[in-house]
Structure 1
Amino acid sequence: MAEGFKIDQRHGKSRVRVARVWRPPNRSSGGAHVIVEWEVDVSLFSDCLPAYTSDDNSSIVATDSIKNTVYGKAKECTKELTMEQFAILLARHFTTYYPQVTGAIVSINEKPWERVFIDGKPHSHGFKLGSEMRTTEVTMKKCGAVNIISGLKKLSLLKTTQSGFEGFVRDKYTILPDTRERIVATEVTSSWRYKFENISQIPPVPFCFRERYNGVKKVLTDTFFGPVDVGVYSPSVQNTLYLMATAVLNRFEEIEWVHLKMPNLHFLPLNLSSKENPNMVKFADDVYLPTDEPHGTIQATISRAMSKL
């Protein structure tokens, strides 16, 4: 409270881009290089009320210092670590190093650099840009309470059959026909919360956030597609979303909830005709018009009965 007003404030630095390379200790002996490229956002909760109500900046951690801390801490990480571990490291630094900082939120997007394979063999230092992007957001308080949410963006999935949509509400505005045969395509955005509530609860190595990310992505994609020979029928994007989320919760006990956003990217059947040629293009489950605007948007959060949303 200040002068009869309530102030809820925080400050930080956004879109701090940093890349970190880990090389083998002895370059002459060979070995694989590792690179990560991160976009880091840091937001600090701090007791700096006089900076807002007067000309006293003595308690402000400058946003330029926040940016430089990201670079400095990246330099200190001589051993490979995941973006979740780096976010935890940053959040812990800001909440312990500065007495006036009571909490921190660190969000990171990781660009999808993937190792190149030449003649079936992994290249030691060659990478190509992939598609989906990894994300994380770590919220930490000075007492060590922590909230870790990881996720992914732009995971594009499509199957050319085993999908339909029928039996939906019909009214005077409905022109969409029922179908049991269509293309279903989406670009998945997902996030999931780990059950850890204090930094002391985070398991040491061999627990690895990257391995868990790869596992979640595999469960999501495997559930979407089904077995390689026959697939699995999808009566709606809603049902597929639910099955994907519950499969993750059933597979990984340390995950409390899963949020999925799955736009329905339409592939419209193409029929072309004219007076002279009424069957110029006759659709037979083969020629489509891909569209991404407008698109249906389906999203839901699936959680365990006692989880905290």
Structure 2
Amino acid sequence: MTAVLGPNRYGKAETRVVRVTRDGEVHRLKDCNVGVSLSGDMRDVHLTGDNSAVLPTDSQKNTVYAFAKKHGITQIEEFARLLARHFVDSQPAIRHARVSIEEYAWERRGPHSFARSSGEVRTCVVHHDQDGTTTVVSGLEGLVLLNTTGSEFHGFARDEYTTLPPATDRVLATAVTARWRHTTPPDGRTSPDTLEIYDFGESYEEVRRCLIDAFAGTHSLSLQQTLYAMGARVVETRPEVCEVRLALPNKHHFLVDLSPFGMDNDNEVYYAADRPYGLIEGAVLDDAAPDAGPAWD
């Protein structure tokens, strides 16, 4: 039996960078966590320990900080794209760069004062190849949504272990993890003019709004049905998005039995369980969408 080197990559994980932009008395704040992964001609370093093709991960970290100073951070997708292109273009051995960013939101409380927002996080993953192709996936995590009615679950399969009763009026709650793939700009060969007018920030806000509106406006017979309605709303409303992937944990709310106290409970008092929970995952895409390749890694 002979060992061979398989797919591999390396990089700097979780570089935390906070960028303050000072416009006189009014300051702007970007708080990000950046991950870099590089791959290419890395055979020798694995097989012989020859480091000549290896850009140190410490250099990758320093590049994040230098680019934050040089270019600023406006939309995280643009910042990720700048970094990914830099690593591929500047290192002959690197054929592919993956840059992921989490952005933590702060709410303005004055010209230069901020309060940390809720647990919702904006995300992106950018892949850039040596042939100039760039793929951009935006996303969010921790968007907590809840409907107090308008949700049912019945007619499901049963076996000898089924104890769950059917529900015709239940609380439906979830913490959305969503990722969506951009078709515009489709790749790194798009003209500079198109890149400049493409607004990732506006796209993010509109996709988020679509997800919330579809959740709120769907009379749900299952969380799967709601997932599809949310993804379809994005794909059918936002032309710049060709695919949405969603993970929706079912944050169960159980009615509390108040009968020992001589009280009825007409869908008013619940126990919010944190685990175990159902986890519903799925993708909704434009039927003409091109193949995603490695975009979701």
TM-score (norm 1): 0.88
- 2:100 — aligned with what? 107
For residues 128-277 of structure 1, the aligned pairs below 5 Å read 128-131=115-118, 132-195=120-183, 196-201=185-190, 203-226=194-217, 232-273=218-259
Contact in 2 for aligned 1:135/1:152 (Cα 8 Å): yes
* 1:4 Cα offset (Å): 6.7
Q: Which amino acid aligns with 2:285?
A: S
Residue-by-residue CA offset, 1:237-262 (whole Å, 9 max, x unaligned):
11111111000001111211001111
- 1:126 — aligned with what? 113
Cα RMSD for the two superposed structures: 1.7
* 1:280 Cα offset (Å): 4.0
Cα distance in 1 for partners of 2:189, 2:108 equals 33
Residue-by-residue CA offset, 1:77-123 (whole Å, 9 max, x unaligned):
14x5211000000001001111111110001111122223xxxxxx3
State percent identity of aligned pairs: 38
SS at match of 1:200: coil
Cα distance in 1 for partners of 2:108, 2:197 equals 22
- 2:295 — aligned with what? none
Cα distance in 1 for partners of 2:160, 2:227 equals 29
Contact in 2 for aligned 1:270/1:282 (Cα 8 Å): no
SS at match of 2:52: coil
- 2:283 — aligned with what? 301
SS at match of 1:105: strand
Question: Structure 1: which 5+ runs fail to align?
Answer: 117-122, 227-231
Contact in 2 for aligned 1:270/1:281 (Cα 8 Å): no
- 2:22 — aligned with what? 23
Contact in 1 for aligned 2:5/2:43 (Cα 8 Å): no
Cα distance in 2 for partners of 1:7, 1:161 equals 51
* 1:37 Cα offset (Å): 0.8
TM-score (norm 2): 0.91
- Asked if 1:286 is matched to 2:268, the reply is yes
Which structure's CA Rg is the greater one? 1
Q: Which amino acid aligns with 1:44?
A: L
Cα distance in 2 for partners of 1:178, 1:111 equals 39
Contact in 2 for aligned 1:149/1:192 (Cα 8 Å): yes
- 1:120 — aligned with what? none
Contact in 2 for aligned 1:13/1:41 (Cα 8 Å): yes
Aligned residues: 286
SS at match of 1:292: coil
